[in-house]
Structure 1
Amino acid sequence: MGHGGNVIDELMTDHREVEEIFGRIEALPSGDKDRKVYADQATQELVRHSVAEEEYLYPAVREHLVNGNAMADREIEDHAKAEQLMKDLESRDASDPEFDQLITTLMSEIRSHIADEEQNLFPQLRVACSPEALDKLGDKVRTAKKLAPTRPHPSAPDTPPANKLLAPGAGLVDRLRDALTGRGKHG
């Protein structure tokens, strides 16, 4: 969850971790209950990651990149689609016939989003921002991930300042629910 380094290194490490979880899901047969455990783990990571990007990365994209507003809007739109998929997945067991379709769609959406960020957005940000600014953003993103929700909240605000105000409270409630239910842990 907190890796150190600049914002791009931090987020790319998150991308690799989520891809590793996706690989575990794909390695298991349809209906295996561990697919749900891994789907919950992926959701927890993706929600924290998305909240941190929406709080700090996308405002920086808007500020520093030539086409920043359009890029940030597209990324937030991607997050909204993924968040709705995660919300739909949340209520389904691995044995549910819709589970496989939802997790496959989510993995496809996330992989496309990751490729776009890593091939387009991150290289532009690396050019537009000083190393110090990228390091500061990395610190802010790490802090945001620690406080962020771990469950999808599709109706929550996704732009500052409202998201920065509401995310820590939702995150606290989510982490308590996860601890009480054992969500994302092997039984």
Structure 2
Amino acid sequence: MTNPRHNGLRSVAEQSEEERGGPGSILSRQSRDHAELDELMRSYDAAGSPAERGRIVAQVGERALRHAFAEETVLFPAYRKFLAGDDDELTRHIEGDHQTVNDALEQLQRADPSSADYDATVRHAFEVIRHDAHDEEDDLLPRLQQAVGVEQLRAIGAAWEVQRRTSPTRPHPRVPREPPGNVLAGIPLAVSDRVKDAVDHALPVGTGRRRAAPAVLAATAAAVLLVRRRGRGRGAGMG
């Protein structure tokens, strides 16, 4: 049943994959990611210990941040391009919600999952994530679907997936929410985040090896960035 609040637009959630433009369409990619995020958030209630809840929140955070970064660098610019005559209040509102979630995740990253206020912060972040998913599936994505063809929806989807896979994985409170600032800031942050992720996975917290990790992390991130810059410089000179 169509929700009249959205001017007769048919929600992406009510459409088949074929109607959305196939599995590679931005509509299908967003819808799948929303569903997987929701499943992760639901698993929080079934968690048996504070440590398990903390792990689930970390997984939700990484996925939500990747999703938001891909929206801000690909989906929202596409929406503004193809619906240039529309009021852009919706994407601005969602970007504000992204910042709210980002700030909550930064707070949770430093918090004890067994503390009294941890659960309230988690549930607020989850509520905002779900609210944005409804705004996108019920309004933003159907509007984009009306404005462009299937091939363009698939091209946007492919670009969105590239950005999602290469995005930062941790909250960064001062990252710009719009291009080109978010794209330029995202490159070094994504490298740094992946080094930190590797350290978290490989080195036990509280060990001497772990305490030595910041220096190793900084050196590794700097080396990776230098290689990437040199590679771009060589590519720019080819013709």
Same fold (TM over 0.5): yes
Q: How high is the TM-score relative to the length of structure 2?
A: 0.72
SS at match of 1:138: helix
- The 5 A counterparts of 1:9-28 are 9-28=28-47
Rg comparison, structure with higher value: 2
SS at match of 1:119: helix
SS at match of 1:182: helix
Report the Cα offset of residue 68 of structure 1. 4.8
The whole-number CA distance in structure 1 between the counterparts of 2:70 and 2:46 is 29
Report the Cα offset of residue 143 of structure 1. 0.7
Instruction: Say if 2:166 is the partner of 1:158.
Output: no
Q: Which amino acid aligns with 2:193?
A: D
Counterpart in the other structure of 2:61 = 43
The whole-number CA distance in structure 1 between the counterparts of 2:155 and 2:39 is 27
The whole-number CA distance in structure 2 between the counterparts of 1:146 and 1:172 is 12
Q: Which amino acid aligns with 1:178?
A: D
The whole-number CA distance in structure 2 between the counterparts of 1:173 and 1:24 is 29
Report the Cα offset of residue 154 of structure 1. 1.8
Report the Cα offset of residue 78 of structure 1. 1.2
CA contact 1:61–1:68 (8 Å) conserved in 2: no
- The 5 A counterparts of 1:1-187 are 5-29=24-48, 32-65=50-83, 66-182=85-201
Q: How high is the TM-score relative to the length of structure 1?
A: 0.91
SS at match of 1:97: coil
RMSD: 1.5
Gaps of 5+ in 2: 1-22, 203-239
Which runs of structure 1 show a deviation greater than 4 angstroms over 4 or more consecutive aligned residues? none
Report the Cα offset of residue 32 of structure 1. 2.3
Q: Which amino acid aligns with 1:7?
A: I
SS at match of 2:117: helix
Structure scoring higher RCO (CA < 8 A, sep ≥ 6) equals 1
**Identical counterparts, % of pairs:** 28
The whole-number CA distance in structure 2 between the counterparts of 1:69 and 1:22 is 29
Report the Cα offset of residue 36 of structure 1. 0.3
The whole-number CA distance in structure 1 between the counterparts of 2:61 and 2:187 is 17
